[in-house]
A and B are shown apart, each in its own frame.
Chain A
């Protein structure tokens, strides 16, 4: 008997949890696509909404006390209109489907841009997304469904996308509807670059790169090329982007960023410094090679793939 009741309670609890998944705050992360349906949209009056509620009660009492039916009718009209705005508020979130997500690369301590694509034909001008204390306005245009949010980062490496709160107060700002989305997508955060100090080693990358660059010619832009190398004037003449190529004065001498050369610093400082050098070298389009802690060597190269591979390695270091 006891066991049966227990089982039933468990099943009821299970059923409730299944019906209203958002009730549990620590709900399991889900995978894309995520559709906001009626079970996971919450709605409460905002502070302004509560204020209007008090106002409506005052109007109602006044109209009733003065036995004034015209005033009562007006109060009912206003009340019904404001109350039904709740449905519009709710509908602004209902049916919204988060289809895909694409994170940009970003460094630690900076806000990481994440592009969200919603699969939806409607315009949702009042959508706000909050990952932390900051509400980010993310209006969705009709048929585009794309928007960008920024994610705060504080440690390098793989981080889980924080729980997102999608909210909306349209049309009158009297109600706020919101819904939580927890995804198990992970974002890679590159280490924080340290630019300020030259390496203790003699071969400062700045000097080498500055001395070794000679303009060699133009080529077509390829994704990942540093922006500062784009030849804007030439591009304007040619209708497509051109990039300046630099003759490697000493092609056999790529810069060498060696983990072991940075002895005397703590682990994170080493990673940050290496990251800073790699960024500088990449911006200058100078080839470099990275020697990691365990002696593995990456490079030499100066292209985007190499750049991202190096930074990923650094970010993933234990």
Chain B
């Protein structure tokens, strides 16, 4: 195709970027920066925003190019800043930061229509990449809306904008794009449903571990859980087959921590051993439920105490935790059965496990050891009495539940038990387990979630990260591993700085919007299930209603192609539909009606035929109606041409005459 060229000496400015599209382009770029702000350093985003606004101001004031050295400087500064921040230009976050920077550089050099179009395309791509970091419903909607300024920019680059300068005309520019976006939603959904998914990624499996995501880590040091407890994001959603278990039974076991090094608890070696899970004696009915676990990037799954069947692709650890073979990078659905009333290894404890459950670091916390030894001397062989002693200590010893726990020194257990006496679940479970081990009772720390919000409308339990919890298990002869929640023994609770932490210690404080957020989670759940969770497997079941058991990629492709053609055809049909020639008044409407009626029997008024000639021709062709046509012609000509405004009553009479006039087909 021949490329249109500006004629010499005329309208060179036609290839220049007008103020309106430039302003819209600036808005588009700002939107892109905003979409990437959550995972880029604040100073970096702020710097890019400042540069973008400065560029807008500069072009508005001077209408001049940005000097080349400045653009080159910027081009060099962006990668340097990114490498200085992240240490590498590769990976998802550094990559996103670099492309954001390059987009701003593009804005600096945008002077022509071509530049602006390229920048818009680039911006769309970067907008999409923002969704690789967060594909929640809210964020997707926000990013989708950010397409609108991009489309408006494209529209404003074309002619036909009123004003074409400054801000006038921004509304029509947005209108076109918005209308088209809404009109093509069905087509977009069809494409989304039918585009065949890849079962195996084309290149290097996305490295999800690089995403900084708050979630449970595989160790517990004092203060580690704090950030988690103030995180409102959803951890998992659970639907129960039967009734909801009571609040004090809702302990979701995640990981068992065996090893204490004086400061932090880790799973230790036991978790890695291929030892068989301890035998479980089940009493009472099983609870069956479905869990949707949102990505945690960890291997362990969460299940109600005590899971008895392992879902497909998982195995039991020796401490009855559930381990997935792959880290959970995508939302994971699994179905578990748990026994709420159970005896875990009631008869005897494997000596290797007993050793691990009594491990204590040497040279730490002498006062706590002394206290435990004191209890042991007093209680003799009565383990239950020692447990009671410890719980009494937490209840009556002046302990306070407070998320803002003071820092602890080297002997963290001693410091907590005898000095600060202030902390939250991890402090209590940690020191309780320590005391038990020091007293010779096998004990371990369990981390997981506790509580949750029951959504009565959609019947599922919503568990947030802030429901994270740590508790203890002690082994008692004859009863097996018994869950003890020492945090529950604490009587004084300070909620002042608890943020959104709702789960720790039954209930906790809730911010005013939390109830609403809990209710609205239904929508997020729907989104996670239907859209985010629409994978190759679900797609292959798409044609179930049509009797096709398994849809192949080929079938999907064919269906997509067929539907695209049908949609295009429909669209073309809709586009061709035009309102009939709109008559300007009743008289013209009646005349049109007459002409249509005559056209049906084969007498069409020519484009160049005046009304008088037309009536004359009709009269000649329809001798039977000559008289009527004569009077109609006289009336029409008089009404139309004798005065500028036809008298209404006579016009009505004409309309009536036309209505009663039925031309008969000429018999030849």
A67 in contact with B155 given A74-B128, A87-B575 (CB within 8 Å) = no
**A80 lies within 8 A of B188 (CB):** yes
Q: Is the CB of A67 within 8 A of B330?
A: yes
Are B159 and A170 in contact, with the CB atoms below 8 A? Answer: yes
Contact A69 B159 (CB under 8 A): no
Instruction: Report whether A62 and B206 are in contact in the complex, using a CB–CB cutoff of 8 Å.
Output: no
List A contacts of B572 (CB < 8 A): 38, 87, 90
Among A55, A68, A94, A125, contact of B135 (Cβ-Cβ < 8 Å): A68
Cβ-neighbour of A51 out of B4, B121, B161 (below 8 A): B121
In the complex, what distance in Å separates the CA atom of A91 from the CA atom of B258? 72
A121 within 8 A of B: yes
Flag if B206 contacts A81 (CB, 8 Å): no
A111 nearest CB across to chain B (Å): 10
Residue from B180, B195, B201, B571 in contact with A171 in the complex, judged by beta carbons closer than 8 Å: B180
Instruction: Please determine whether B184 and A52 come into contact, CB atoms closer than 8 angstroms.
Output: no
Task: Choose one: B128, B132, B155; the contact of A172 (CB below 8 Å).
Answer: B155
Residues on A with beta carbons closer than 8 Å to the beta carbon of B535:
67
Contact in complex: B607, A74 (CB < 8 Å): no
Give the docked Cα–Cα distance between A33 and B608 (Å). 9
Assess whether B187 is in contact with A84, with CB atoms less than 8 Å apart: yes
A265 at the interface (CB under 8 A from B): no
Whole-angstrom distance from the CB of A211 to the nearest CB of chain B? 39
Q: Tell me the bound Cα distance from A33 to B330 in angstroms.
A: 63
What residues on A are CB-neighbors of B330 within 8 Å?
67
Taking the closest CB of chain B, its distance from the CB of A81, in whole angstroms, is 5
Q: Once the chains bind, are B128 and A75 in contact (CB under 8 Å)?
A: yes
- The answer to whether residues A171 and B531 also contact, given A51-B118, A66-B206 and a CB cut-off of 8 A, is no
Closest chain-A Cβ to B389's Cβ sits at a distance in Å of: 53
Is A73 at the interface (CB under 8 A from chain B)? yes
Assess whether B576 is in contact with A69, with CB atoms less than 8 Å apart. no
Most buried by A among B4, B155, B189, B202: B4
Distance to closest chain A CB from B165 (angstroms): 15
Q: Is the CB of A51 within 8 A of B191?
A: no
Interface 0/1 of B1-21, CB less than 8 Å to A: 111110100000000000000
With a CB–CB cut-off of 8 A, which chain B residues contact A155? none
With an 8 A cutoff between CB atoms, is A299 at the interface?
no
A:51-96 near B, CB below 8 Å: 51-52, 55, 58-81, 83-85, 87-88, 90-91, 94-95
Chain B's closest residue to A165 (CB) is B2
- A74-B140, A133-B5, A139-B160 are contacts. A69–B532 as well, Cβ < 8 Å? yes
The reply on A134 being an interface residue by CB < 8 A is: yes
Q: Are A74 and B147 in contact (CB under 8 A)?
A: yes
In contact, B140 and A134 (Cβ under 8 angstroms): no
| B117 at the binding interface (Cβ < 8 Å) | yes
B contact residues around A84 at 8 Å (CB): 180, 183-184, 187, 571
B197 in contact (CB, < 8 A): yes
Give the chain A neighbours of B144 by CB distance below 8 A. 73-74, 77
Q: What's the nearest-Cβ distance from chain A to residue B168, in Å? A: 15
Give A133 to B6 CA distance when docked, in angstroms: 9
**Interchain CB contact under 8 A, A134 and B7:** yes
Total contacting residues, chain B, CB less than 8 A: 66
The CB with the most chain B CB atoms within 10 A, among A60, A72, A134, is that of: A72
B127 interfacial contact with A, CB 8 Å: yes
A87 and B567 alpha carbons, distance in the complex (Å) = 11
Most interface-central of B191, B532, B535, B578 (chain A CB within 10 A): B191
Q: Which residues in chain A, 81-123, are within 8 Å of chain B measured between CB atoms?
A: 81, 83-85, 87-88, 90-91, 94-95, 121, 123
Q: How far is the CA of A123 from the CA of B143 in the complex (A)?
A: 33
Contact partner, A78, options B147, B183, B532, Cβ 8 Å: B147
Closest to B203 in A: A65
Q: Is B157 an interface residue (CB 8 A)?
A: yes
Residue of A at shortest CB range from B530? A69
B176 at the A interface (CB under 8 A): yes
Task: Say whether B86 faces chain A, with CB atoms less than 8 Å apart.
Answer: no
Cβ contacts under 8 Å, B180 to chain A? 81, 84-85, 88, 171
Which of B2, B139, B568, B571 gathers most chain A CB within 10 Å? B571
Which residues of chain A come closer than 8 Å to B118, judged between CB atoms?
51
> Is there a chain A Cβ closer than 8 Å to B131's Cβ?
yes
* Chain B residues in 8 Å Cβ range of A134: 4-5, 7
Q: B667 → chain A, closest Cβ, in Å? A: 32
A83 to chain B, nearest CB (A): 7
- Chain B residues with CB below 8 A from A126, complex form: 158-160
Q: Is A281 on the interface with B (CB-CB < 8 A)?
A: no
- B192: A residues at CB distance < 8 A: 69, 72-73, 76
Are B154 and A87 neighbours in the complex by a CB distance under 8 Å? Answer: no
Question: Does B143 contact A74, Cβ atoms closer than 8 Å?
Answer: yes
- Asked if B125 and A59 make an inter-chain contact with CB atoms under 8 angstroms apart, the answer reads yes
For A132, the closest partner residue in chain B by CB is B7
List CB contacts (< 8 Å) of B191-242 with chain A: 191-192, 195, 197-198, 201-203, 206
Give the chain B neighbours of A130 by CB distance below 8 A: 4
CB contacts (< 8 Å) of B113 on chain A: these are: 173
Chain A residue, CB-CB nearest to B199: A67
Query: Known contacts A73-B140, A169-B158, A171-B155: does B198 contact A65 (CB below 8 Å)?
Result: yes
Q: Is B151 an interface residue (CB 8 A)?
A: yes
**Is B269 at the interface (CB under 8 A from chain A)?**
no
Q: Name A62's contact: one of B128, B177, B532, B574 (CB within 8 Å).
A: B128
> Is A212 engaged at the interface, CB distance under 8 Å to the other chain?
no
Known: A69-B532, A135-B4, A170-B158. A63 touches B188 (CB 8 A): no
- By a CB distance below 8 angstroms, the chain B residues around A317 are none
B257 within 8 A of A: no
Q: Does B124 contact A (CB under 8 A)?
A: yes
**Distance (Å) between the CB of A31 and the closest chain B CB?**
10
Instruction: Please encode chain B, from 257 to 270, with 1 for each CB lying within 8 Å of some chain A CB and 0 for all others.
Output: 00000000000000
CA of A264 to CA of B145, assembled, Å: 77
Complex CA gap A88/B576 in Å reads 10
Q: How far is the CB of A240 from chain B (nearest CB, A)?
A: 23
In the complex, A62 Cα to B206 Cα: how many Å? 10
Asked if B181 is at the interface of the complex by the 8 Å CB criterion, the answer is yes
**What are 13 A-to-B residue pairs whose CB atoms are below 8 Å?**
A38-B576, A44-B1, A48-B117, A51-B117, A55-B125, A58-B125, A65-B206, A68-B135, A73-B192, A87-B572, A88-B180, A133-B5, A134-B4
A residues contacting B by CB (< 8 A) are 33, 38, 44, 47-48, 51-52, 55, 58-81, 83-85, 87-88, 90-91, 94-95, 121, 123, 125-126, 128, 130, 133-135, 137, 139, 169-174, 176
Task: With A51-B117, A71-B132, A76-B189 given, name 9 new contacts (CB 8 A).
Answer: A47-B3, A63-B131, A64-B195, A75-B128, A81-B151, A81-B184, A95-B578, A125-B161, A134-B7
Minimum-distance CB pairs A-B, first 4: A125-B160, A70-B135, A80-B184, A80-B187
